[in-house]
Amino acid sequence: MTPGAVGTEDVVAARKLLRDVISETPMRYSRVLSETVGGPVYLKCENLQRTGSFKVRGAYVRIARLSDAERARGVVAASAGNHAQGVAFAAGLLAYSAPGPLPAAAAAISVSDPTGR
């Protein structure tokens, strides 16, 4: 396997870690998209997560696995979107500090509630 590549055991471990953190989201068949591409298309409804996207999955797994030294340095998310919301939400659950500098043109919802809660 390529160094740094994600293997089956990594996916299983992440799923176990996330079990009580995220919602299990449905997959929905899309007739219109299926007809357009000539084959079955299913949509994974990650917009139903508390943060509105799948980004919380990776953020939570990475932050939960920080070493003590990394934890002491904190976490910074340079994003004004879904990634920042995932990091802020995950850091809050894990009681870590995670400042997120926002650009001046950030969407109002990102400024008012970066955690997506």
Looking at residue 104, its amino acid is A
Please say if the pLDDT value at position 13 is more than 90: yes
pLDDT band at 74 (very low <50, low <70, confident <90, very high): confident
Residue 84 to residue 75: CA distance in whole angstroms: 11
Please say if the pLDDT value at position 39 is more than 70: yes
**pTM higher than 0.95:** no
pLDDT at 109: 58
Class of domain 8-23+50-112: alpha beta
Domain spans, the chain: 8-23+50-112
Q: For tokens 């068949």, what's the residue?
A: 29
